[in-house]
């Protein structure tokens, strides 16, 4: 069984990147400037281009020696699930069998992560953000529509909107506070131009697609999982005051297009398979095109580490979980493509803010502070909204039987608005 696997690369049982993980990323060598596609085991990076040239990744699919020497994973992703599984199988074989330890190509492929800079893992041609956690949708709806928290359509389809892929950034990128139109005051429907005063984060899971469909041809819900290359953590920063003024009648626009942060290593469905859980039965029953045979998500605990300016370490202010979903990733894909929308290799689908069932598992400040009515404690300070110099880091780890599967960090610091 995969959980019993052990690599000849050393790491302890608490490592988030054991042989069972084998994520994919893109890195630049700090000394040479060369960019390649990588996997990793613990703090050891595996240069997939070196292994490809050696032929060690070949199987039923023979690589053309020009798949992994790229600055994005899209070429590899476009080859499909059979090839993805072939590479995972070959990597598992190479790094669990000590006979490969002395092979020149294998030793040449190994690099220390400290010598590398992680980059965005793929080209993201399009981005869609959903609103698929019932807890979050109900909590937010209750703030503004106490007698009718969920809109009539919410329980019948995965609500979403198209975001801006050009401002998706990697973990560690600083985020400039946005400016825009906001209401002059609560009681006056007249705008002023202002920096955002109600800046927020959103805990989300991002799904990255590795396959495309022909325009006009929908994706069946029970085939949608074949399109999923992997998962990343996603912080979809939100300017609440800008959004409140602009979103009627077409939804978020500039309040959500200034920055979205993702983790840099893509975690595969195969690595997450031990943490797969069945989601509760949906009521009402979805229409046939959304009625999946295997309605599931994953048990992935996600913590929010908040560091104020001057603090050396972040403070955990919330702990939520990807299992708190109502609409699954497969349903999101099927609904997105039901009209014949063509999905692209590298497309990013955000889960929407993930909130649990109690006050300690909320996924954003909007919920935690009741839309600014309350303050939260962050170490020795208090906050209602994000201040300049504050930093948010999303951390996710799944504890298995004798091993752990983790995501890389999803961190961003807020900078002052620009003139």
Based on the residue annotation, tell me whether 61 is a catalytic residue of this protein.
Answer: no
Sign of CA dihedral 93, 99, 101, 106: negative
Beta-sheet strands, E only, within 247-290: 260-262, 276-278
Catalytic-role residue among 61, 123, 136, 156? 136
Cα–Cα dist 88/109, whole Å: 16
- The answer to whether the beta carbons of residues 257 and 163 sit under 8 Å apart is yes
End-to-end CA distance of the chain: 57
Contacts of the segment 77-82: beta carbons below 8 A, 24+ positions apart: 77/122, 77/208, 77/210, 77/211, 77/229, 77/345, 77/346, 78/210, 78/211, 78/212, 78/345, 80/210, 80/211, 81/210, 81/211, 81/226
Cα–Cα dist 362/143, whole Å: 14
374 by Cβ neighbours in 10 Å (0-12 / 13-18 / 19+) ranks as: exposed
Q: Where are the alpha helices (DSSP H) in 184-328?
A: 240-246, 269-272
Nearest to 231 by CA among 267, 277, 271, 272: 267
Cα–Cα dist 405/263, whole Å: 14
- Active-site amino acid positions: 136
């Amino acid at each position: 069984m995969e959980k019993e696997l052990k690599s000849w690369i050393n790491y302890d049982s608490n490592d988030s990147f054991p042989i069972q993980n084998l994520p994919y990323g893109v890195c630049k060598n700090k000394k040479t400037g060369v960019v390649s596609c990588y996997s990793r085991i613990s703090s050891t990076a595996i240069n997939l281009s070196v292994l490809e040239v050696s032929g060690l990744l070949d199987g039923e699919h023979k690589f053309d020696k020009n798949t992994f020497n790229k600055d994005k994973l899209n070429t590899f992703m476009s080859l499909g699930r059979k090839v993805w599984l072939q590479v995972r199988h070959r990597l598992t074989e190479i790094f669990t069998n000590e006979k490969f330890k002395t092979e020149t190509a294998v030793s040449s492929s190994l690099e220390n992560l400290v010598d590398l800079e992680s980059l965005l893992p793929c080209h993201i041609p399009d981005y869609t953000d959903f609103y698929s956690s019932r807890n979050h949708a109900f909590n937010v709806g209750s703030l503004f529509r106490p007698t009718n928290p969920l809109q009539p359509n919410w329980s019948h389809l995965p609500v979403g909107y198209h975001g801006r892929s050009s401002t998706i950034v990697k973990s560690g990128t600083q985020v400039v506070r946005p400016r825009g139109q906001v209401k002059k005051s609560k009681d006056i429907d007249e705008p002023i131009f202002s920096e955002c005063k109600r800046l927020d984060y959103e805990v989300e899971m991002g799904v990255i697609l590795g396959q495309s469909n022909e325009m006009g041809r929908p994706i069946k819900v029970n085939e949608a999982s074949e399109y999923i290359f992997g998962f990343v953590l996603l912080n979809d920063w939100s300017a609440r005051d800008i959004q409140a003024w602009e979103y009627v009648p077409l939804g978020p626009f500039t309040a959500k297009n200034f920055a979205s942060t993702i983790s840099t290593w893509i975690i595969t469905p195969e690595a997450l398979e031990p943490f797969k859980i069945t989601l509760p039965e949906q009521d009402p029953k979805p229409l046939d095109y959304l009625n999946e045979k295997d309605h599931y998500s994953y048990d992935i605990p996600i913590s929010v580490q908040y560091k104020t300016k001057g603090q050396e370490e972040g403070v955990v202010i919330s702990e939520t979980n990807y299992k708190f979903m109502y609409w699954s990733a497969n349903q999101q894909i099927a609904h997105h493509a039901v009209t014949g929308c063509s999905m692209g290799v590298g497309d990013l689908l955000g889960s929407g803010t993930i909130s649990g069932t109690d006050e300690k598992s909320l996924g954003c400040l909007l919920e935690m502070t009741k839309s600014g009515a309350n303050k939260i404690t962050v170490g020795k300070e208090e906050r209602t909204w994000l201040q300049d110099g504050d930093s948010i880091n999303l951390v996710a780890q799944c504890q298995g039987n004798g091993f752990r599967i983790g995501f890389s960090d999803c961190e961003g610091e807020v900078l002052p608005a620009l003139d």
